[in-house]
Structure 1
């Protein structure tokens, strides 16, 4: 027996094969219409006959043969849609984990299980309802019966805590479908009545904890809170432990920690950090930083007239992968020059450009970046966040360098003041007793160089094959790191001046690092390039220079569209003023330059003379004599004119690219007159087109 839609049916197998009637009789009943077939057999289907359509005698025979058919059918129909295996609900896990107020883990597991059981009950209800809808009817009682059986079966398997009472279970089930996971949370969770410190009391405690005028100790804070609480009508706190527990709750501490301990400490305590993997190839990342050389040296104090112990600083460039110290410079402070020289040493020694460089954001680095130094040196330049030393592995390397190498020396200053072990501190008594035996500054520099070499030759701490730092640096090739040739190195080391300098008749003069420099632009013949000199006296130039090679500089003219390369300048040639002290080379240069100056002045004079004579301008037009250049005779000037005609002498400066407009000509001859008759005669000969042309001007 089974249900077909809303019709109770028996099968062909039960009637014929069950021995109730024979097959011929079955077919006869169908022909005579005594049996109503609601589903014909075939294609895997079994023929179904409506139970109520069978003759009464046949129904009685069926009931005697299958006494429990109806109850068994009802049970099959109920269990047909029941699932006894619950499915994981990730959304429920997230909901109860993030629920406010927070739920303890064991209670979270209980609520998650109940939600998953309710999900299966919902699926059972939907499956039964859909099946009923196919037959065009709805049996809510039978549907709920299947849902309830599903709940109890899962209770036996999982031990969930949903209500056992059918009415309360149905109420919770319907509420869950409407409102979701929240209906499973106990209403007593986070009951505010159980809290000892309310919102107003907590606000006052936070205000006093953050106070700067005055700053309270814990006991002073406890007493001041209770004093103000009475005045404000708030609850007093009976025990300092209650106050301390409240203020040190992580959710409360975050509101006063920065005010009490500072923003830097707040960042270090609360801000999330990254776990990073160090580079696997050398020259992929270079770090650089300045630190104190933790070694004493002796120096003579002129004011105290005695030997004293002093320290100085070093700026180091390190490869992040191998921890090899690549380049350094020793000098007081962390300035532009020290940083530049350390990077210069690293590039000159290793002949390679790294892919990335990370520096701090000190003023020296800003100057180098402004010069475009890092753009020429690497593919990517970044600066670290201020007060975030843990982001640079060079800080850790400095500490281990001090512990493993520098500490062996008797003039070791100890590590920084945060070191807690006595072995990390200096033996001041020993140092003071032996100041006269401390190394000098030059000896200290050699001592430090030896220590660096020892560090680079030590085994790398993470090398699986026991390679030294230096072996790792040279054995592994980085395809992204570019080799450096001599020309490119020279271009990288060139720096621009910060301020422009004016070019004068004395040349290009400036002062740098308390030293005077004087340059001039010379031609291939070794004499002053008069073409450049005459056109640029009074012009402002930036100069590009190599701090380690000042034998030549580049001059860059300042224009409206930016700096543009102009010329190479070399140190200005000097000669002795006294004749007897001059060498033959100096005499030859002196007279050659004087002759060049004279020829230049003569050529400029003749070129100007020709220009303005051609345009009927200047002194010649007014019939005044043009003064000759100083120290040039008329005969010499005539000789220079002949040279210019032959092309052996030229003006060093070309004529400006300008065109003087022509003067208007009205008639073939000037309109001149000496008497009234001449005036009349001239006017009578004047035509209208000549008058029109006169009006144009």
Structure 2
């Protein structure tokens, strides 16, 4: 017999001479197509007819096996060769590190692909009962299959086991677990476990004890437990662990080595679980947890970030560090607001907002589109001033103790490392790795044994003045992204990229929440007295918003850096009433009157004239009254005389122009 086209064949002469069938019988079966003649005889010298063995009727196949022993195995080899196909799914699996879990070399991946393809062919034959019965002459013969696969090792280049039992086990493992079972244990995928899952969890449970034991201590505690010297229990349920469940196959205590303990405790998946149990929330979050990856916006004032800090140097009088609060534009990194206090309190935050809004108002910029705030001091305004849409369109409250979320934390660090460390001494951390950034203190060996003396102390004015100079230098230093903003400082980037869609500053809302507040009363329907000065209503119509029989209002005002009032607003409860104007006063002595006095006089006359016009426009007309008699006679109503308006005196102050007439004309 021989192979022709990957099919096991037998010649016509071997069939006849071997006594399997007669020549007439052969010709009759061939003419009827009862078997496949894969090659015709005749023609070229030595060319003889070949018949596919697997196409012969079963009784003739049985005679072929009797006359020519080994033919069944040859037919099986032929079938495997003709049905073998490279598994494309296996190719995609073993060449993809993400799917198979390890980085395989090209040769090793090809080896595993071949093994999978050979196993697929074996399983295909197993599932085709009729084909298997014809090839094996009965039920599926694992011994013949294993022998055949072994003889094809050189042909395919596979590395499947030669033993029948091991080969059969590999086939079943492959059917149950797929491609992963073909990967060698040396690649860390299917390696035999030194300990089972239960033992590994016990080791990890010991490793996360509150005293944070070393690996050697974990080993000692584990070995003491399995040898019966130590009881281990579940603190939640109180259940004792049974040492008899932690034995090897011989029933002996499973005593582990130090290397095994180290290997299991240092596995990346175990390492992170141990850190989670032993580390604080903030430590685990900053060192182990994944973090968000971000980039800054393109426009200034699209987002402003706030944060507090302690100035690094101490005061001479109280031995404490002043508290500072900063506002940073995220795009440029500029500090656009700052405030200082001896305590971290609400006043510190309010002063910072005031300083920021003064800068925005001075520069003519709009209100920031979004603010990024912390929870500690800002949460009191969550439902009022810092509710989205009240003052700022967008508001983000950062997670508590998550300093990496706030951009201001990064800017504080950049300012400290780049500017403060260069300008002052004693700037750094006592635990810093770099000696240039490490600070040292002199310890006092007293009964407390926890007292340290700073090398230098400073006055309040010195520290605040130094920090303001540092802020100016920081703002006017080159922007860190010189590839994008070549030659531009942080301040240049801030000014050049103001967001064009910003809303104008709502000074009334700003004053109400971060301005100064004082209770006052509207007098003579025209003004309020605040801080020793008279502030006029912008128009008389404002009194229409007052509650009945209530002239008391709350005045909120903004000041400049020198404390001078710049804007005044009055509210009655939550109702906004009006913005007030400080018209001023004029001198009554004509010999001392100046141009400003005339301007003040004109403004006051305008407001009084507007008041008179309001009264005229809303004057109440009288009505006539008469009693109705029993005869229902018509009674003419009395004629009500209309008062004649007396001419107004307009030159009562002796000025040359008729300012009253001019004021009325302006209306």
Q: Same fold (TM over 0.5)?
A: yes
CA deviation map 1:638-682 (0-9, x unaligned) = xx9733999x9xxxxxxxxxxxxxxxxxxxxxxxxxxxxxxxxxx
2:267 aligned with 1:265: no
Find the aligned partners of 2:623 and 2:139 in 1 and give their Cα distance.
Answer: 123
2:193 aligned with 1:189: yes
Of 236-245 and 143-152, more deviation after overlay is shown by: 236-245
Q: 1:414 aligns to what SS in structure 2?
A: coil
Give the alignment partner of residue 538 of structure 1, picking from 550, 553, 575: 550
2:109 aligned with 1:124: no
CA deviation map 1:28-57 (0-9, x unaligned) = x98x9983245999xxxxx99899999xxx
CA deviation map 1:285-334 (0-9, x unaligned) = 43332223446787xx6xxxxxx887534333333344333443445446
Give the alignment partner of residue 415 of structure 1, picking from 416, 428, 438: 428
Q: 1:80 aligns to what SS in structure 2?
A: helix
Find the aligned partners of 2:455 and 2:126 in 1 and give their Cα distance.
Answer: 98
Find the aligned partners of 2:291 and 2:351 in 1 and give their Cα distance.
Answer: 31
Give the alignment partner of residue 374 of structure 2, picking from 360, 381, 397: 360
Find the aligned partners of 1:265 and 1:340 in 2 and give their Cα distance.
Answer: 31
Find the aligned partners of 1:346 and 1:556 in 2 and give their Cα distance.
Answer: 25
Find the aligned partners of 2:311 and 2:627 in 1 and give their Cα distance.
Answer: 75
Q: 1:264 aligns to what SS in structure 2?
A: helix
Alignment partner, residue 248 of structure 2 = none
Q: 1:317 aligns to what SS in structure 2?
A: strand
Contact preservation (8 Å) 1:317, 1:346: no
Find the aligned partners of 1:534 and 1:393 in 2 and give their Cα distance.
Answer: 44
Alignment partner, residue 674 of structure 1 = none
Normalized per residue, the structure richer in helix is 1
Alignment partner, residue 289 of structure 1 = 307
Q: Superposition pairs for residues 510-521 of structure 1, below 5 Å?
A: 521=537
Q: 2:91 aligns to what SS in structure 1?
A: coil
Kindly state the Cα deviation for residue 337 of structure 1 after the two structures are TM-superposed.
1.6
The normalised TM-score by structure 1 is: 0.54
Give the alignment partner of residue 330 of structure 2, picking from 307, 314, 320: 320
Give the alignment partner of residue 82 of structure 1, picking from 81, 84, 92: 84
Q: Which blocks of at least 5 consecutive residues in structure 1 are unaligned?
A: 16-25, 42-46, 55-67, 98-104, 212-217, 302-307, 577-582, 617-639, 649-697
Contact preservation (8 Å) 1:279, 1:321: yes
Find the aligned partners of 1:168 and 1:407 in 2 and give their Cα distance.
Answer: 71
2:353 aligned with 1:340: yes
Q: 1:463 aligns to what SS in structure 2?
A: coil
Q: 1:189 aligns to what SS in structure 2?
A: coil
Alignment partner, residue 214 of structure 1 = none
Find the aligned partners of 1:516 and 1:152 in 2 and give their Cα distance.
Answer: 111
Give the alignment partner of residue 177 of structure 1, picking from 175, 186, 197: 175
Find the aligned partners of 2:473 and 2:81 in 1 and give their Cα distance.
Answer: 81
Kindly state the Cα deviation for residue 132 of structure 1 after the two structures are TM-superposed.
8.6
Contact preservation (8 Å) 2:300, 2:497: yes
Q: 2:31 aligns to what SS in structure 1?
A: coil
Contact preservation (8 Å) 1:258, 1:265: no
Find the aligned partners of 1:252 and 1:52 in 2 and give their Cα distance.
Answer: 57
Find the aligned partners of 1:413 and 1:354 in 2 and give their Cα distance.
Answer: 35
Kindly state the Cα deviation for residue 164 of structure 1 after the two structures are TM-superposed.
1.4
Kindly state the Cα deviation for residue 518 of structure 1 after the two structures are TM-superposed.
7.8
Kindly state the Cα deviation for residue 492 of structure 1 after the two structures are TM-superposed.
7.0
Q: 2:83 aligns to what SS in structure 1?
A: coil
Kindly state the Cα deviation for residue 340 of structure 1 after the two structures are TM-superposed.
0.8
Contact preservation (8 Å) 2:369, 2:394: yes
Give the alignment partner of residue 380 of structure 1, picking from 381, 390, 394: 394
Kindly state the Cα deviation for residue 124 of structure 1 after the two structures are TM-superposed.
1.1
Find the aligned partners of 1:78 and 1:34 in 2 and give their Cα distance.
Answer: 26
Alignment partner, residue 680 of structure 1 = none
Alignment partner, residue 163 of structure 2 = 165
Q: 2:544 aligns to what SS in structure 1?
A: helix
Contact preservation (8 Å) 2:313, 2:426: yes
Find the aligned partners of 1:52 and 1:403 in 2 and give their Cα distance.
Answer: 85
Kindly state the Cα deviation for residue 542 of structure 1 after the two structures are TM-superposed.
6.6
Alpha-carbon distance change, 344 to 338 in structure 1, aligned in 2, over 3 angstroms: same
Find the aligned partners of 1:51 and 1:421 in 2 and give their Cα distance.
Answer: 83
Contact preservation (8 Å) 1:331, 1:338: no
Alpha-carbon distance change, 75 to 180 in structure 1, aligned in 2, over 3 angstroms: closer
Q: Superposition pairs for residues 236-247 of structure 1, below 5 Å?
A: none
Find the aligned partners of 1:347 and 1:478 in 2 and give their Cα distance.
Answer: 14
Contact preservation (8 Å) 1:96, 1:108: no
Kindly state the Cα deviation for residue 79 of structure 1 after the two structures are TM-superposed.
1.3
Alignment partner, residue 467 of structure 1 = 486
The normalised TM-score by structure 2 is: 0.56
Q: Superposition pairs for residues 57-68 of structure 1, below 5 Å?
A: none
Find the aligned partners of 1:233 and 1:322 in 2 and give their Cα distance.
Answer: 60
CA deviation map 1:229-268 (0-9, x unaligned) = 4998987999998999699667777777677654333433
Alignment partner, residue 456 of structure 1 = 475
Find the aligned partners of 2:174 and 2:53 in 1 and give their Cα distance.
Answer: 40
CA deviation map 1:488-512 (0-9, x unaligned) = 4646744358999796778899999
Q: Which blocks of at least 5 consecutive residues in structure 2 are unaligned?
A: 14-22, 38-48, 57-69, 234-239, 244-252, 443-452, 588-596, 629-639, 649-667
Structure with the greater alpha carbon radius of gyration: 1
**What RMSD over aligned residues (CA atoms) do the two structures have, in Å?**
7.1
Alpha-carbon distance change, 462 to 471 in structure 1, aligned in 2, over 3 angstroms: closer
Alignment partner, residue 46 of structure 2 = none
Q: How many residues align?
A: 545
Find the aligned partners of 1:202 and 1:114 in 2 and give their Cα distance.
Answer: 37
Q: 2:489 aligns to what SS in structure 1?
A: helix
